[in-house]
A and B are shown apart, each in its own frame.
Chain A
Amino acid sequence: MKLYILILPLLLLSSCDFPKVIPSTFAKDYCSCRFVVGQSKDYCLMYAKQIVSPTSWSEDANKKEIVAKFLTKKTRVKFLNQKFGCQIQEN
């Protein structure tokens, strides 16, 4: 029973847009901060984090790509070039 109480809100949460907001805003803001503005990792981490943080995230410095996850949702943001900056690829 206790397990249901824990799982049910998570399932309800996963079905709405809220979980998408977290990885999406984080990945987009972090990507632009790092690759467009050129700030440090520490600064960008502080800059991109909202009240709720992604459950996991990774930066591929070679591909200039950020992937962030929250619960079942994942966002991938790519730095295209200096003129066009970062763009959400999938969410």
Chain B
Amino acid sequence: MFKFIFNLLVLFLSLSSMANFQDALVTENKELKELKNFVFGESNIHSSNALLIIKDGKVIVEEYKNGFHKEKPHRIWSISKSFSSALMGMAIDQKILTLDEKVHDTYPLTKEKGYYKELTIKHLMQMSSGFEWSEGYENNPLKSNVIDMLFINNYRDMATYTSQRPFAHRPGKQFNYSSGETNLMMGILRKKLGAKYENYPWEQLFQPLGMKNITWERDQAGTYVGSSYLYMSARDLAKFGQLYLQKGKWNDKQLLKESFVDESVKLVPAFEKTILKGEDNAQGYGYQWWLNKDLPIKKLKRPYPALAESAYFGLGHHGQTLIVIPEFNAVVVRYGSDKQGAFDRKIFTDKLAPFFKSLQ
């Protein structure tokens, strides 16, 4: 009897330690001091709320500001898209849907040009639907489809709104970052799952990863706002990054297929053919993840040269940042409220790389 209780206790302790990161905070050296000065320095125009660095599965740097702490949730904005992608990957694995499935089987589309017949779920995953869409926030609110969808006239049913957009391009031919496409994806998942949809993200992802206090806001149709409205602590977001770093494996269980993780961080075919404005042109995109690839067709080098091409990013409004860095076996989370000034992720990664190298 005693042996049974002891074994049970050992099992419980080992599972709980795997659900949470162990602390192994490093002593502040010159490189870490520079990194922290950049992230939290008083003279910066950006405003950071959290910095968390996981290396070899352990917390090596953790700091919070502005009332945030390790238990407190934070809105992750567009990093939500990478979670939506993971859920789609799980649904594919469970044969609930397929990437090649036509979108018009679930949501009626505009019939002009006949493009509706070609649009697949894979195109949505790759932001290559061909829909006419403007993804501008505060800088151009009146012409922004994302503002219209989230706040003005189409907040009730975001997936239906997106599905009714006219086609500007043939599906798969043009990359165009669109929060609407992620919400349409989540709308398809809702229709496929029916009553199971409500708890699906918790049962499939949050609970197996030991994530607590997760909020995912929905529209009035009941679709999770997969583009933008997930809230979680920095430690919980790091767990999601760690899941990808471990190629979908968690506690000896393959939560997400390794092949899906690999596909998720491959460059979208339409990306190299599309010329985008500003720094987005060089960033590269996969299944709802930003990449760090050299782009030979565009003759562009990767946007964060201090990190290897294998690094990838979940990026959100107001400077939310998740970085998975296989070359250093690390995951980095930075939360912020950068309304006044952009958080320069190039400088951030320029300071991250020497810090990781200083640990070797």
Contacts and interface: CB of A to CB of B under 8 A. Distances in A.
Interface of A: 16-18, 20-21, 24-25, 28, 32, 36-40, 43, 47, 50-51, 82-88, 91
Contacts of A87: 217-220
18 contacts: A17-B152, A20-B151, A36-B75, A36-B215, A36-B217, A36-B231, A37-B75, A37-B231, A38-B73, A43-B66, A50-B138, A51-B138, A84-B218, A85-B217, A87-B217, A87-B219, A87-B220, A88-B155
B220 A82 contact: no
B148 interface: yes
B332 interface: no
Contacts of A37: 72-75, 231
Contacts of B153: 17, 20, 91
Interface in B39-89: 66-67, 72-75
Contacts of B339: 47
A91 B151 contact: yes
A4 to B, nearest CB: 25
Contacts of A88: 151, 155
B73 A36 contact: yes
B21 interface: no
Contacts of B160: none
A85 B231 contact: yes
Contacts of A32: 75, 217, 229, 231
Contacts of A84: 215-218
A43 B141 contact: no
Given A32-B75, A39-B67, A83 B216 contact: yes
Interface in B186-216: 213-216
Given A37-B73, A37-B74, A24 B337 contact: no
B142 interface: yes
Given A21-B151, A25-B151, A32-B231, A43 B215 contact: no
Contacts of A83: 214-216
Contacts of B215: 36, 82-85
A56 to B, nearest CB: 18
Contacts of A36: 73, 75, 215, 217, 231
B147 interface: yes
A25 B215 CA distance: 19
Given A37-B72, A50-B138, A83-B215, A21 B152 contact: yes
A43 B67 CA distance: 9
A71 B311 CA distance: 48
Nearest to A28: B151
A84 B72 CA distance: 16
Nearest to A26: B151
A85 B216 contact: yes
Contacts of B74: 37
Nearest to A37: B73
A51 B218 CA distance: 27
A85 B229 contact: yes
A39 B74 CA distance: 10
Interface string B10-41: 00000000000000000000000000000000
B151 A86 contact: no
Given A32-B231, A85-B216, 13 more contacts: A21-B151, A24-B155, A36-B75, A36-B217, A37-B75, A51-B138, A83-B216, A85-B215, A85-B217, A85-B229, A85-B231, A91-B151, A91-B155
A10 B215 CA distance: 39
In the A-B complex, the 8 residue pairs with the smallest Cβ-Cβ separation, listed nearest first, are A85-B217, A24-B151, A85-B215, A88-B155, A21-B141, A36-B215, A20-B152, A17-B152
B142 to A, nearest CB: 6
Nearest to B138: A50
Given A17-B142, A17-B152, A18-B141, A86 B75 contact: no
Given A32-B75, A87-B219, A47 B152 contact: no
Given A20-B151, A39-B67, A82 B213 contact: yes
